[in-house]
Amino acid sequence: MPLTFPKGFVWGAATASYQIEGAVTEDGRGPSIWDTFSHTPGKVERGESGDVAGDHYHRVAEDVASMADLGLDAYRFSIAWPRIVPTGSGAEAGAVEQRGIDFYSRLVDALLAHGISPVATLYHWDLPQPLEDAGGWAVRETAFRFAEYAEVIGRALGDRVDIWTTLNEPWCAAFLGYAAGVHAPGRTDPQAALKAAHDLNLAHGLGVQALRGVVKADARMSVTLNLHQFRPADPDDAEDVDAAHRLDAVGNRIFLDPILHGRYPDDLAANTSSVSNWPWAIPGDVETAGAGIDVLGVNYYTPTVVKFWDGRSPKEGADGGHGGGASPWVGVSDVDFPAQPGPKTAMGWPIDASGLEELLERLNREHPGVPLMITENGMAAPDVVAPDGAVHDADRIAYLNDHIAAAHRAMEAGADLRGYFVWSLMDNFEWARGYGMRFGIVRVDYDTLARTPKDSAAWYRDVIARNGLP
């Protein structure tokens, strides 16, 4: 039976600057922490980097034409902070790189010319390296530098961008970057990770305040969180349930509660007391984090099954599928992540669309009145180019179909879901996994940089045209 979405539902695709742009030394762009990290031996598979990536910086016209061919309602892209303020600091003349602003201005104009709504993310992990050298997100001042940058780009593009997203997945930035060390900047300091989480929350609030003063009145403010759908291995086991709840504090509520309610969850300090006593939460910071959003972005790929670990028996899993470095789960060490049966993506992530349905229903239940958008959803697949030059990615189509159907069920249950963005528009540099993981619905040949729409692109075009599933 066909599934139709409400009129006005937004269908989009998403990308991120460091993953697709390339041109890392052109037109005044400064180095980011991902430039440094990817050029550090052993940090990225096969020693790859985003130096060229998909060369989107030089292929904007071609890529926007591809979006138009898909019939996208919206395009979610990120702005590279080092292209706008190369040193990361200052809004005065000379600190701001006009050529970087001009690049994104051309992109926005091209999108609007094709009837595609621009959705701009200000921070998708490419912190200017000079700010990391000064302490990075573990230093409170970085949040104020972010607000400066937000105001600069807001003044430049604020008359044309419809949705402003301050941060993408701050959990990854804080805990994979500063605790597990598997993402840039590659630090393994649990206390710094907690500090980074707080400063990212502060940056979000300061960024919203800065943007609201300079962008058009009907622009919407947003943040995108990679919310974990934790499932106790045994729902009837009190210890498994408790383990999932404690992980939820440091995995989800550490951002949800400040941003949506202007406070930290009551159990967070207790759960992380072995690492820190949170001395840096200056009065007013958390209230600033709750400056208010108009839509919450939700990134979902897979659920996470959690089991209490007794400290003696061998662990079944490592870190919940987050890279195998030091643990990102600061303050929660007595947990295990047992391997799950069934199909998995090329990343090794279990495929289970019911987790998305559960997550959306939870958000609707616990945070009623907050409009939602799925801002990333997709799968890495072992794409093979057929003799005819096509990519027949039936596995990706099945994944997307099942997750869109799950989103529809959540809406029928009351979730206020406004849109869906597939990850990703094109194959890209998949962070520490390099170019071995392909998420795109458009294939990129990394030798020639030629683009080839996969079968999933044609399928998604049909979904958009019919505003639902057949």
Cβ neighbors of 279 (< 8 A, separation 6 or more) are: none
Per-residue pLDDT, 278: 67
Give per-residue burial for 223-234: e unless 16+ CB within 10 Å, then b: bbbbbbbbbbbe
Q: Angle 439-440-442 (CA atoms, 0-180°, nearest 5)? A: 160
CB 299 within 8 A of CB 173: no
Per-residue pLDDT, 319: 77
Spatial distance between the Cα atoms of 335 and 415, rounded to a whole number of angstroms: 31
Residue among 48, 97, 376, 430 flagged as catalytic: 376
444 SS3 class: strand
Q: Is 376 a catalytic residue?
A: yes
We find that the CATH architecture of domain 3-469 is Alpha-Beta Barrel (3.20)
Per-residue pLDDT, 104: 98
Per-residue pLDDT, 291: 92
Spatial distance between the Cα atoms of 63 and 414, rounded to a whole number of angstroms: 36
Q: Is 169 a catalytic residue?
A: yes
Mean pLDDT, consecutive 10-residue stretches, the chain (470 aa), reads: 95 98 98 98 98 98 98 99 96 88 98 98 98 97 98 98 98 98 97 96 98 97 98 98 97 98 93 78 91 97 96 82 85 93 96 98 97 98 96 98 98 98 98 98 98 98 97
| Residue extents of the structural domains in the chain | 3-469
Element (H, E) at 192: helix 190-212
Per-residue pLDDT, 286: 94
Spatial distance between the Cα atoms of 114 and 9, rounded to a whole number of angstroms: 18
Residue among 132, 148, 169, 357 flagged as catalytic: 169
Rg of the chain taking only CA atoms, in angstroms: 21
Helices 98-113 and 60-70 pack at an angle, to 10 degrees, of 30
